[in-house]
Structure 1
């Protein structure tokens, strides 16, 4: 019985570690005269950690440099760096919505073509430094994996609550829109009826003056 429990825990830890360590690696080809942006919808109080680096394999030329700007859903600057070949940005989301990271090539681009940028974007539990947690709390092995699994479960629960809140907001907006459309339809029908009645009244008076009726 104990052996089965241990095996089950190890399976759960393995699955949990896959979920926790999952990050989003993005490969961008930035044109010389255009911006290339990526965005992600993030809820409140979520930690975001990202690393970016210019990938350039031509040793005969100097590595091109890029500029990076990260903004919140309300347009606040969270990270801005120029003339960079690599860098990192980290922040805690205080606004729910789409966070935007834009990259563009600045003046230093000897090759003149597209610049390749590798971006590793991690959010929530995937951005947590588990090595520091393990050293601080002196945990390792199965206990550490269980802690990661617990963090993954909490993150999933928070995401479900966030989706539930968004669904309620969308339902409220939909009901409000349906109500406005219904009132608009009723008003339009009423205006059409009034206009038709006025037209009939005007035509009746016109024919009476002409003594046609």
Structure 2
């Protein structure tokens, strides 16, 4: 039983780390945009860097291979803006929880071209450069490892509370939806019975006038 719990905890921790690191390469057609969303909790550090891949290795990057980048929060707050650049980076601490969107746009060209973009986005523990922390503070190896462990545990703790809050929000939404559906069902049944009653009354009145009953 303890082995199963340990294995589950290991999978959970690894899953948390993997969801905190997003490195990808994608193609962006001229005149079009592409957006990447990341669900980040509040008070979490996030860093990202991107660059246009040179289609001709060993030669200068063509002037046409430049992009516009925007990073915004779920509430529309802007955290990064860059126009007509070959590369860039951003770093900030989130003020609110939710989906953060990184959007890239390539200017229109005739004939159309395809730009390859390399994008690396990290959040939480993965966003902290521990090597630089050790160099700047002259921290001993053991102290550094302990700090990393503490930050990891704190991150997992915060992630668990964040997931619990999201679960409570979903449960509240389900309860609200269920209550509205019950009310709608009751109103529908009431309307159907009322219509049926009116139809019976109308038929009865009609037959009485015709002296059929």
TM range (shorter): 0.7 to 0.9
Deviations 1:12-36 (A, max 9, x none): 9xx99xx59x732111211112101
Q: After the TM superposition, which residues 82-101 of structure 1 pair with which residues of structure 2 at under 5 Å, given as runs?
A: 82-101=83-102
2-structure distance, mates of 1:60, 1:94: 39
Structure 2, gaps ≥5 residues long:
1-9
Deviations 1:113-170 (A, max 9, x none): 2111111101111111323432454323233122112211111111111000000010
Query: In structure 1, what is the equivalent of residue 183 of structure 2?
Result: 183
Query: In structure 2, what is the equivalent of residue 126 of structure 1?
Result: 126
2-structure distance, mates of 1:167, 1:110: 49
CA spacing shift, 1:140–1:62, aligned 2, 3 Å: same
Cα offset, 1:112, TM superposition: 4.2
CA spacing shift, 1:147–1:60, aligned 2, 3 Å: closer
Deviations 1:68-95 (A, max 9, x none): 0111101121111111111111111112
Q: Equivalent residue of 1:74, what SS? A: coil
TM-score by length of 1: 0.84
CA spacing shift, 1:212–1:154, aligned 2, 3 Å: same
CA spacing shift, 1:43–1:61, aligned 2, 3 Å: closer
Does the aligned pair in 1 maintain the 2:54–2:61 contact within 8 Å?
A: no
Indicate whether 1:211 and 2:211 are aligned: yes
- Residue 31 (structure 1) aligned to one of 7, 29, 32: 29
Structure 1, gaps ≥5 residues long:
1-11
TM-score by length of 2: 0.84
1-structure distance, mates of 2:155, 2:191: 53
Does the aligned pair in 1 maintain the 2:47–2:123 contact within 8 Å?
A: yes
2-structure distance, mates of 1:171, 1:99: 23
Does the aligned pair in 2 maintain the 1:52–1:87 contact within 8 Å?
A: yes
CA spacing shift, 1:115–1:204, aligned 2, 3 Å: same
2-structure distance, mates of 1:188, 1:111: 58
- Displaced runs of 4+ in structure 1, greater than 6 A? none
2-structure distance, mates of 1:132, 1:77: 28
Does the aligned pair in 2 maintain the 1:65–1:84 contact within 8 Å?
A: yes
